[in-house]
Amino acid sequence: MGVDKSGQRVQRMFGEIAGNYDRMNHLLSMQTDRYWRWRTARRTKPVGDAPILDVCTGTGDLAFALLRASGGKAPVVATDFCQPMLDIGRQKKIARGIDGQLEFMQADAQNLPFPDNHFQIVTVGFGLRNVADTDQGLREMTRVCQVGGRVAVLEFTMPRTPGIRQLYGWYFRTILPRLGQWLAGNTESAYEYLPESVGEFPSYEALAQRMREAGLARVDFYPLTLGVATLYLGVK
């Protein structure tokens, strides 16, 4: 039986950990998650003032990185279907003195409320594996992307290098869930869900192929930090 990724469970689970989400991400990744988002924003190369979309944004860290990468010229829309996450994102926006160039809104990645060919860049960071229908999420991201625009997926992966793969797998499946659960203390076991969902999710060439089937071309992927995370890029 696969991991339960029903909308209700995922929404409740991330709603429970929203208050600790940023702190836990930075702690458990030893701050490397900041670098991964920075690299993603740099590799997508925002140009001009055409809008950018970040889906499954959580508290908006990738959306903030994209806004910085554009020099504040391109408006960024950050969507998620978990309202507590969006609330924290909006609080961060106010604290950073950011105006209307960044908008948080509630939306389902499987049914995005935007017209076709609207955004120059569409991204998702560590959220695609939480979408119940991966292919539908990719199709929607591709649909709302402009022709010639870029779609980026940043996601956890298991390292391929022997030795490192085994060591990281032990940490990821044994230590991280216990540490995360102890610190977060949520009833839906978010940090047990994390390695389970990563283990079931397609990675490397398998996910690149799913992106091609969704309508993207020139799809490539770039392992980050020994393959702990991977950035996938495609062009519509």
Convert the pLDDT of each residue in 126-163 to its tens digit: 999 999 999 999 999 999 999 999 999 999 999 999 99
pLDDT at residue 189, rounded to an integer: 65
Convert the pLDDT of each residue in 60-72 to its tens digit: 999 999 999 999 9
pLDDT at residue 7, rounded to an integer: 62
Give how far the C-alpha of residue 170 lies from the chain's centroid of Cα atoms, to the nearest Å.
Answer: 23
The tokens describing 30, both together, are 């030893």
Determine the topology of domain 7-235 in CATH: Rossmann fold (3.40.50)
pLDDT at residue 53, rounded to an integer: 98
pLDDT at residue 186, rounded to an integer: 53
Q: Which residues pair with 231 in a beta bridge?
A: 154, 222
Strand order in the sheet with 102-106: 102-106, 76-80, 52-55, 119-125, 145-156, 229-235, 217-224
Convert the pLDDT of each residue in 76-119 to its tens digit: 999 999 999 999 999 999 999 998 899 999 999 999 999 999 99
Percent of the chain at pLDDT exceeding 70: 90
How far, in Å, CA of 205 to CA of 102, rounded? 33
Length of the chain as a residue count:
236
pLDDT at residue 205, rounded to an integer: 98
The reported pTM is 0.93
Mean pLDDT of 25-54: 92
Asked if pLDDT for residue 188 goes beyond 50, the answer is no
Are 53 and 119 a contacting pair, CB within 8 Å?
yes
Confidence tier at 6 by pLDDT (50, 70, 90)? low
- Provide the mean pLDDT of the chain: 90
Confidence tier at 185 by pLDDT (50, 70, 90)? low
pLDDT at residue 58, rounded to an integer: 95
Taking each helix axis from N to C end, the angle separating 21-28 and 7-17, rounded to the nearest 10 degrees, works out to 80
pLDDT at residue 73, rounded to an integer: 94
How far, in Å, CA of 148 to CA of 235, rounded? 6
Asked if pLDDT for residue 122 goes beyond 80, the answer is yes
Between 69 and 5, the higher pLDDT residue: 69
Helix locations, the chain, DSSP H? 7-17, 21-28, 32-44, 61-69, 83-95, 134-144, 164-170, 176-184, 190-200, 205-213
